[in-house]
A and B are shown apart, each in its own frame.
Chain A
């Protein structure tokens, strides 16, 4: 079955370290997203990409960067990790909308990466 995968699934690191979280998908979707989930705060958008040449900041992009290496791959980097970046990180994908950029379809989430910054 076509799926969204994330690596690693769990990571413990120290303050100041550089961390990369990877996302791959076999759904053939153009759109990819990175979210972080914190208790009581829901899912907050970090970055999103509508195609390989398109990268956009989300609600909480400070301290993060991304790279869209191919249609199927979207990586999230923390250049210098800090403790308040401890969270559950989800990658998601969706189809291109049927009526332009503002149209929307179902997002499919990866299994998540639990990151702990000590």
Chain B
């Protein structure tokens, strides 16, 4: 069935370093790839998304890249700050317009 794999499950970086989270998807018909951030005790919120007709998208310190041939996409956070600490989820739209989420990555940014 449709599947999204996300790695790593936990990631610890020093403040100011970069962080990269990677996801792969199984359904070649997927055409929308959002990333959500969930702070402790809060609801997930969209931070950036990319559609299949674009290879890269950037918004200030965060960027997402998409490789449709390899069926993988990545989230890049530069100049990390303590407030970037959260759980990050990738997702891919599958047939029928629903989202399939990855397992999540717990990012810890140490001051």
Which A residues contact B (CB, under 8 angstroms)? Answer: 31, 33, 35, 40-45, 48, 50, 56, 58-59, 90, 97, 101-104, 106-107, 109-112
Contacts and interface: CB of A to CB of B under 8 A. Distances in A.
B89 interface: yes
Contacts of A58: 98
B97 A103 contact: yes
Contact of A102 (B45, B96, B103): B96
A111 B43 contact: yes
A45 B100 contact: yes
A59 B101 CA distance: 11
Contacts of A45: 98-101
Contacts, number: 63
Interface residues of B, number: 26
B80 interface: no
A43 B95 contact: no
Contacts of A101: 96-97
* Residue in A48, A104, A106, A107 whose Cβ sees the most chain B Cβ within 10 Å: A104
Contact of B31 (A102, A106, A109): A102
A55 to B, nearest CB: 12
Contacts of A56: 96, 98
B43 A106 contact: no
Given A102-B31, A107-B46, 13 more contacts: A40-B103, A41-B103, A43-B89, A45-B99, A58-B98, A59-B100, A90-B43, A104-B31, A104-B93, A104-B97, A109-B43, A109-B45, A111-B43
